Amino acid sequence: MGFSNYNPAERMSERLTLNCDMNTAYNAFLKAVNDLPKFKLDSENRTLNRLTVKTKASLFSWGEIMTVQLNSVGDQTEVIISSGLKTSIGSQGIMAQQTVGVKNKKNIDILLNEASKYL
Residue stretches of the chain with pLDDT short of 70: 1-11, 58-61, 87-101
Answer whether residue 79 is part of any domain.
yes
Number of domains in the chain: 1
Residue 64 contacts residue 54 (beta carbons within 8 Å): yes
Range of the domain at 14: 8-116
pLDDT in tens, 36-59: 999 999 999 999 999 999 998 766
Answer whether residue 77 is part of any domain.
yes
Q: What is the mean pLDDT of the chain?
A: 83
Answer whether residue 2 is part of any domain.
no
Answer whether residue 52 is part of any domain.
yes
Q: What is the pLDDT of residue 90?
A: 47
Answer whether residue 3 is part of any domain.
no
- CATH number, domain with residue 68: 3.30.530.20
